[in-house]
Amino acid sequence: MYNKKTTAWEKVEIARNPKRKTSLDYIDVIFDEFIELHGDRNFKGDKSICCGLARIENQNFTVIAQQKGRTTKENIERNFGMPNPESYRKAIRFMKQAEKFKRPVITFIDTKGAYPGIGAEERGQGEAIAKSMFEMVKLKVPIIAIVIGEGSSGGALAIGVANKVFMLENAIYSILSPEGYSSILWKDGTRYKEAAEKMRLTAEDLYDLNIIDKIIKEPQGEENESFKKTANSLKKEIKKSITEMKNLSSEEIVQNRYEKFRNMGELRRNENVIKK
């Protein structure tokens, strides 16, 4: 379907494709059972992030998934996959519940960013994102984050602080969109294709930079069959990673996550020194 010669901008277009499989599509195949839970117990429900309880064989999980729609009606209902503060507070609520009942957390990342509306800002969008990352850093159960499509801005990073970060072959992961990058850095929004290359937002780039732990291949072939193979590969990696972390203490799990992101910061600093 896609090859190694695919450009960064072409990967952006693939990740944004409205026909691309969503988080709920993957949840339906990966887990044997899924029960969605609702509400942040503070303001209102927000459907751009789905939270719930899931199971693979005898292992229970808490799932937190950013969800886009396909039709206009679905996208309006899901706020085009751009979470409001309520979604992040709902996610935090279920992260803490997962810790209480010792359930690993699986997050699915697929958003162009947190919703930038006035109401969202008035209700503390920035604080909600920061609090989500803060809570994930110290959570005493394993966390696996999976980037399945467009992982952009703080809206994506808010549920990306994990022990393991997986990324689909044709997904993207970055601090902002290429359009935003070119507009801010070069004051020229037309240079988005060049920006995509500079940002190093593809799975291959991020694996080389030690930001993600594994690239999940998206096999060629008929769409549904290809999707099932990808979903089953994800299922296999989730089971493998949870087995690896099963014997770690809660303190070791937290330390493992801390060291992962600490080492990532050191790597970036060293790279900047070499460039200078």
How far is the C-alpha of 163 from the C-alpha of 85, rounded, in Å?
24
Q: Domain tally for the chain?
A: 1
The answer to whether residue 134 sits within a structural domain is yes
Mean pLDDT of the chain: 92
| 12 pLDDT tier (thresholds 50, 70, 90) | very high
pLDDT tens figures, 203-245: 999 999 999 999 999 988 767 889 999 999 999 999 999 999 9
pLDDT at 237: 97
pLDDT at 269: 47
Tell whether the model's pLDDT for residue 166 goes beyond 80. yes
For β-strands 143-152 and 164-168, DSSP reports them as parallel
pLDDT at 265: 55
The answer to whether residue 17 sits within a structural domain is yes
The answer to whether residue 249 sits within a structural domain is yes
Domain residues for 235?
8-275
The answer to whether residue 2 sits within a structural domain is no
pLDDT tens figures, 88-114: 999 999 999 999 999 999 999 999 999
The answer to whether residue 3 sits within a structural domain is no
The answer to whether residue 196 sits within a structural domain is yes
For residue 64, what is the domain's CATH number?
A: 3.90.226.10
Mean pLDDT for the stretch of residues 52-66: 97
The answer to whether residue 110 sits within a structural domain is yes
pLDDT at 2: 43
The three-state (H, E, C) secondary structure of the chain, written as one string: CCCCCCCHHHHHHHHHCCCCCCHHHHHHHHCCEEEEECCCCCCCCCCCEEEEEEEECCEEEEEEEECCCCCHHHHHHCHHHCCCHHHHHHHHHHHHHHHHCCCCEEEEEEECCCCCCHHHHHCCHHHHHHHHHHHHHHCCCCEEEEEEEEEEHHHHHCCCCCCEEEEECCCEEECCCHHHHHHHHCCCHHHHHHHHHHHCCEHHHHHHCCCCCEEECCCCCCHHHHHHHHHHHHHHHHHHHHHHHCCCCHHHHHHHHHHHHHHHHHHHHHHHHHHC
How far is the C-alpha of 113 from the C-alpha of 152, rounded, in Å?
5
Mean pLDDT for the stretch of residues 13-31: 95
The answer to whether residue 232 sits within a structural domain is yes
